[in-house]
Amino acid sequence: MGKLNEGDVIEGIFTIGLSLYIAYDKVDKTALNKIRTQIDTDMFHTGRFSYTVAENLPKQKQGHPEDVFHVGFEMRLKPKSTEGAFGKDYHDLYYSSSKDIGKIDKKIDQFINAINYGNYTRRVKRVVDTFLDNNKKDDVKFIIIADGIEGEQSGGLVKGDVKLEVYAKVGKLMKKIDAGTIPFSLKSESVTVASLSPYNGMVAIAKALNVTWDGETKYLRLAKPFYGKVEQAAKFEMIVSMYKDLKQGILMAQSSGTFSDNAFEFLHKNLFGEDLADVIDVQKGSVKEITGEHYKQLKGSTTLYVRERGNYLEFMSKEEQKPIFHIRTKLREDANEAKFYLEVGKGIYL
């Protein structure tokens, strides 16, 4: 069995749960777990697995015409990192013995509890109510699509792991309602916004923050391959030096009147992506969110300053004295691993 990635598993859990919520206005844990056992994980290797949660389901608000809902999902998860969490393996190893892998069971409980207060729930409910409140007999299809692989193939431009798509019957055809599409970026106790190559990541943030330095040309060698132990050792020395220069440059740049705006714009691009996906972090003790609306308010009321804390360079809120985000490097020369991370802090969540 491969190494389980709970973030990848949560994508699937959220997808099933959101389907149940749209169909039945609640998420029943037994129904959710039963659907987990019915997923054909072999489909993940070649395409998406499709599942119908409800077909020709009558939905109605008092005083309004009866609508017909069809609810389902399409799922393509990483086979190795979700092995044992769905399908036959999950049924044989865990479902039949009422156990679960990792902390998934506790996170399902938190997800179900959050249905009652989550911002993502309110967004979905507004879309559903569009049809229930419009005094028309609607025939509507809701499809939740989990395809984090697709997002990775975009090069990080698309952040939504899961998205809701809505189709309504117009004449004899089902037509997509663009206003009904909602993307979600799912996490599971992860603060990572972007995992970048050190050279490209450091050049990108330096440009965004108008840092005055010569790092892009001085360390251009890092953009090319390194071979052998001697070259590899030189590479890691250059990354350490480049990061030191970057931190010094950012500390100097923070006196600029546009520093906070520039930092927030850089984070916004990497956090929400081109699809503007709200972030949902399902944890074993709570569900945390970062919404576009909250982010806009935070940007308008926050002035950032920078402090160095070990390997971290933290972007702090002057008003709340809380970290909004930070950058750091991860270097393991013995494994030839070099990463530049952009990660959020506790001051950014709702």
Whether residue 11 is contained in a domain is answered as yes
185 in Cβ contact with 278 (< 8 Å): yes
Query: Does residue 155 lie in a domain region?
Result: yes
Number of domains in the chain: 2
pLDDT per residue as tens digits for the range 96-110:
998 999 899 999 999
Those residues with Cβ within 8 angstroms of residue 52's Cβ, 6 or more apart along the chain or in another chain: 70, 71, 72
Residue 209 belongs to a domain: yes
Strand pairing category for 278-282 and 182-187: parallel
Examine the domain organization and report whether 33 and 176 are in the same domain.
yes
Residue 94 lies in a domain: yes
> Do 296 and 158 sit in the same domain of this protein?
no
- Pick from 145, 161, 187: which residue ends a domain? 187
Same domain, 54 and 155: yes
Euclidean distance between CA atoms 169 and 167, whole angstroms:
7
Asked if the structure places residue 171 within a domain, the reply is: yes
Do 183 and 156 share a structural domain? yes
Residues 245-260 have a mean pLDDT of 97
- Cα angle for residues 117, 122, 127 (degrees, 5° grid): 160
Phi, psi at 195, each rounded to 5°: -115, 110
Q: For 66, which DSSP code?
A: P
Residue 272 has pLDDT above 90, yes or no: yes
- Among the three residues 159, 187, 215, which one is the final residue of a domain in this structure? 187
Model-wide pTM > 0.85: yes
| Domain-embedded: residue 149 | yes
* Cβ-based neighbours of 147, under 8 Å, separated by 6 or more: 48, 74, 75, 76, 161
Residues 189-214 pLDDT 10s: 999 999 999 999 999 999 999 999 99
Model confidence at 3, in pLDDT bands (50, 70, 90)? confident
Kindly indicate the confidence band of residue 2, based on its pLDDT and cuts at 50, 70 and 90. Answer: low
* Angle, alpha carbons 144-147-149 (nearest 5°): 175
Residues 15 and 163 placed together within one structural domain of the fold: yes
Pair type for strands 192-196 and 182-187 = unpaired
**CA 73 – CA 76 distance, rounded (Å):** 10
Condensed to tens digits (0 to 9), the pLDDT of residues 149-188 reads 776 776 778 899 999 999 999 998 999 999 999 999 999 9
| Average pLDDT estimate for 279-289 | 95
pLDDT band per the 50, 70, 90 thresholds, residue 58: very high
Query: What value does the mean pLDDT of the chain take?
Result: 95
Domain end position, chosen among 153, 187, 221:
187
User: Based on the domain organization, do 161 and 200 belong to the same domain?
Assistant: no
161's tokens: 């792991």
How, if at all, do strands 139-146 and 67-75 pair? parallel
Q: Indicate whether 31 and 140 sit together in one domain.
A: yes
Residue 238 lies in a domain: yes
**Do 210 and 261 fall within a single domain?**
yes
Residues 154 and 181 placed together within one structural domain of the fold: yes
Mean pLDDT of 287-302: 97
Shared domain check, 118 and 169: yes
Work out the end-to-end distance of the chain between its first and last CA atoms, rounded to an integer number of angstroms. 37
Spatial neighbors of 144 by CB under 8 A, at least 6 apart, are 15, 18, 19, 22, 72, 73, 74, 162, 163, 164, 165
What pLDDT score does 137 carry?
Answer: 96
Is residue 200 domain-shared with residue 301, that is, in the same domain? yes
Q: Is residue 1 part of a domain?
A: no
Tell me: do 171 and 200 sit in the same domain.
Answer: no
For 348, the 3-state DSSP assignment is: helix
pLDDT at residue 28 above 90?
A: yes
Q: Domain range spanning residue 210?
A: 192-348
Write the CA distances from 16 to 31, 161, 187, integer angstroms: 9, 13, 16
* C-alpha span between 341 and 193 (Å, rounded): 8
